[in-house]
Structure 1
Amino acid sequence: MEERKQRWLKGSFTVEMAFLMPMILFLIMGCIRISFYYHDKNIIAGAAYETAVTGSTKVREKDGISESELNALFKERVGRKCILFSRIRVQSSVGKDEIKVQAAARRKKMAISVESRAAVTEPEKYIRDIRRIKK
C-alpha cells in the first residue's frame, strides 16, 4: 500500500511540473523581452536628447545645422545598439528658439515614441549682460 502511495506522489509531481514549467518559462521570457524593450527605449531617448542638445549648440554657429544633419547625427548615435527595434524613424525640426527631435520605432505589437526638445540658448550674450550689469 505504501509503495503505491509513493508512485502516486511521484506521478503527481510530474503532472504539476508539466503544468507549471510552461508558465514559469513564459514569465522568464516575458521578463527578458521587457528588459530588451526598456534597453532600446533608453538608448533611443538618450540619443534623441543628445542630438537635440548638440543641435542647439551647433545652430548658433556660422553655418547652422540642417534637419538632415540632425537625423544623421541621431542615426550615428543609435548605430546598431538596439536589440528589438532595428528600424527607427527620426524626424527633426530646427526652429529659431528650439530644436525638436522625434523618434519612433515599431515591432509587431510593441512601439516606442520619444520626443526631445532643447532650447537654443546664447550663453555668451547672457554672460556679457551680467558683466555689464556688474560694472
Structure 2
Amino acid sequence: MQKTYDRKVYLKGSFTVEMSFLMPMILFLIMGCILAAFYYHDKNVIASAAYETAVVGSTKAREKDGVSESELNRLFSERVGRKCILFSGAKASCTVTDEKIQIEATARKKRMSLSVKSEAAITKPEKHIRDMRRIKKLGKKVNGRGREDMKKLGIKTRGGI
C-alpha cells in the first residue's frame, strides 16, 4: 500500500520581496490620481465661480448704480463657498471697465497654485432693441425721408429700406 501525503504549496520568498517593491509604487499612482481629480475639481469650481461672477457683474453693471469691485469679490466668495477640496482660500481680483468685467481668481496650497481668468462684456440689449424698432418704423415710411433719418442714426443704407 502506498501512503498519500498532503502536498503543501509554499510561496517562495522572492514573491514577497517583489510585492514589497511594487506596492508603494501602486499606492503612489493611486494617490496621484486622487490628487489630480481633486485638483481638477477645484479648478472647475473656481473657473465656474469666476465666470458666473463676471456674467452677474455685467448684468448688474447695466443698472443705475452699476457694480463695484468689492461687490464682485463678495459674489465670487459666495459662489466658491466651501466647495473646494484642496484650495480652500481662493481669492479674486476684479476689474470693471465700461466695456467688460474681468475676474482673475487665484488659489495656492503649499507648492501648488491655480489661476483662472474670466471676462464678460457689458452689453446693452435694450439699446439694440430700441434701435431695431426705430429702424422698422423708418422702413415703413413711404417717402425718402426714412433714409435721411437712418443716416442721422449712423445706419448705412443700400438703395432701399
TM-score by length of 2: 0.77
Aligned partner of 1:85 in structure 2 is 87
Distance of 1:124 and 1:12 partners within structure 2: 78
Partner residue in 1 for 2:25 = 23
> What is aligned with 2:13?
11
From 36, 39, 47, the counterpart of 2:38:
36
Partner Cα separation in structure 2 for residue 130 and residue 23 of structure 1: 66
Query: Which of 55, 80, 89 is the equivalent residue of 2:57?
Result: 55
Q: Deviations over 1:105-125 (max 9, x none)?
A: 011121100111110000111
What is the deviation of 1:129?
Answer: 1.4
Q: What residue is the counterpart of 1:64 in the other structure?
A: 66
Q: Which of 103, 116, 126 is matched with 1:124 structurally?
A: 126
State the aligned residue count. Answer: 130
Runs of 5+ unmatched residues, structure 1: none
Alpha-carbon deviations, 1:16-73, whole Å to 9, x = none?
Answer: 1111100000000000000000000000000000000000000110111100000000
Greater helix percent: which structure? 1
Tell me how large the CA RMSD over aligned residues is. 1.3
Q: Which has the larger radius of gyration?
A: 2
Stretches of structure 2 that go unaligned for 5 or more consecutive residues are 1-6, 138-161
Deviation at 1:131, TM superposition (A): 2.1
Q: Normalising to structure 1: TM-score of the pair?
A: 0.91
Structure 1 stretches of 4+ moved >4 Å: none
